Structures are given as C-alpha cells and as structure tokens.
Homo-oligomer: A and B are copies of this chain.
C-alpha cells in the first residue's frame, strides 16, 4: 500500500495495549477519593509489592520526567549534586526539570557504551569535596536502565555503582522509562535489577510499553517516601483521578504481557540491527541490547531513508530507530533494504 508509513520514531507513539485500556475503562465505576487514596491505587501497590518481592511504596504519575524529578527531589538537599552519565535522559532530554524540582546540580560523567563506570564514579566522588562549602554536596546517583542509547547494566554493575554511592552517602535512583525492555533483555527479576542491587527508588515507565500516560514511582527505602506526597503536589504531579492511572499500572504488572511486548520490541530491534550491521558503511553506535538502534550513516543513505516511507528521529549526529512490540516486520525489511541499496549505489558509483 502506497501510503504505509513505517514509524521508528519512538515507543511512545503507539497506542494502548488492549488489556490496559480495558483496565482503565473498568475503573470508571462509582466514586473514589482523589489523589491516590483509592482502591485501585491500593491494589496497584500490592501488585507491585508482589512483582518486586517486597513491600514497596508506589506513587502513580502521568509523566516520566515528573517521576524522575520527584524521585531525585526526595533525596535532595538544596546545595547538592546528582551524579549521572552525560547521556542520561535527566541531563539531556528533560529541559532542566530535575534541577527545578531538586534545586540541585547534575554532575555528569563520561563512560563507555553510555554507561557509568564504577572506577570513574569512585574517583569522582573521592574528589568531590565532601564537607567543603565551595562545592555542591553529592546526594544522589542516577542510573538509566536501559540507557538512552539502549544499552544495559548487569545486576553486578548496578550493585558495584550502588555500593560506591551508598558508601559516599548517596541514594540510588534508577530511571526505568524502558524498564520492561531491561527485564525482558536480561531475563533477570525486577528485584534483581533494583533493590537487591542497591537501588533506592525506581521510576518505572509503562507509557512507552503500552500504557496511557502511566508511570510508577517505586520507593524501596521507606524513609524516602515521606516527603513525596508534598513534593508531588508542589510539582503539579498529583493526579486528581489517580485511579485511572493506577488501574493501568496494576493491570500492567498483573501478568507477563508487559514483558512479552518488551521482548517483541527488543527482538525487532535486534533483527533490524543485525541487518543494518551487515551493510558496509553503516556504523552501529551502541551495542543493541534492547529496542533502540543508533547508527551513523553516510549521507546518501540518510537521504534515501528520508525520502522513503520511514519516520525516525535524528539525535545529534545519529539516526535513532526505536522498535515497538507491534513494529511491522516488512517495515524493518524495507528500512534495511533502503539503507543497503543507497549505500551499494554509492559504493558502486566509483566503479567504472
């Protein structure tokens, strides 16, 4: 069909998974107290406690940026520093929201594969000037899992970072906007990737994996939960009719469909990456471990893809392709072929 568009822009362009929109519709019954003091939210907290294998506190939100910012604010002091990778979503793509909500400074670190390295974190914190009033004081570590480039930390990598952080008095926040993709790709239990490895707060995203503006801020350290209701209100993050978000989140975690979708998205990305990697001239920028592919292409391939029935984003110098669970296989095929053709053409041209 001439008009088909293959859309690789993001995983938040999709709609809602059937069971999630059903859950939302089913919550439309009777009256319920506002602001999360409702039965749907209580059931959601129970569900999360089961999935994470321990009692947790959970706050429903509509927005991942808000979730990250509130989580960090719960750990903050007003002259503090949050450590994160220079490519972290909180650093690059949230327009200063974490700074607004925390009043703190982000201190960024480089690191291979867009991941924080334990040695550099240790060295940086050792020289951070704890107790020196001229220096912002470290209070939080942000780990993005998977990273904004789709790469993954192993549980032991997380544990090593968290141990250093805790040793220096920092709390550990995980930005899990695509946490499902991480669980699906690693095959590790949610608990293993979070609190068992030392994570204190998790921003668990559901929106990019089939929910409608539904995010869960999960708190493993009970003491950190105390200020969150106030911080959320002050941040305009409290939902009047929270039940419609909590109902989705409860359903989201109720069976394996969230992981099935994530596995499917990851598999599509692996497929596309394998095919692109086989084309001479295409550079895969980061290991493809979840559902995102970042590539550098020669200009003719960029031009060809731009003319084609494809949608994708350019981030800095890279093209980004994100796969969803329902990504069309023929789209993957078409995209890989288009890039390949463009480059074959280019490379053949010089031949006489």
Contact = CB atoms under 8 A, between A and B. Distances in A.
Contacts of A73: 78
Contact of A28 (B21, B101, B135, B136): B21
B133 A240 contact: no
A104 interface: yes
Contact of A105 (B35, B79, B99, B244): B99
Contact of A62 (B15, B63, B106, B317): B63
Interface string A217-243: 000000000010111111111111100
B103 A79 contact: no
Interface string A132-154: 01111100000000000000000
B108 A108 contact: yes
Contacts of A137: 230
Interface string A104-123: 11101000000000000000
Nearest to A20: B28
A32 interface: yes
A278 interface: no
A62 B239 contact: yes
Contacts of A235: 97, 100, 235-236
A236 B10 contact: no
Most buried by B among A35, A66, A69, A80: A66
Contacts of A95: 79, 133-136, 230, 233-234
A173 B339 CA distance: 45
The count of identical subunits is 4
A176 interface: no
A30 interface: yes
A289 to B, nearest CB: 22
Contacts of A66: 236-237
CB-based closest 3 A-B pairs: A66-B236, A95-B233, A133-B229
Interface of A: 7, 9-10, 12-16, 21, 24-25, 27-35, 62-67, 69-70, 73, 76-81, 92-97, 99-101, 103-106, 108, 127, 133-137, 207-208, 212-213, 227, 229-241, 244-245, 316-317
Given A66-B236, A67-B236, A100-B234, 12 more contacts: A9-B31, A13-B31, A21-B28, A70-B236, A81-B96, A92-B134, A95-B233, A96-B103, A96-B104, A97-B235, A99-B103, A100-B103
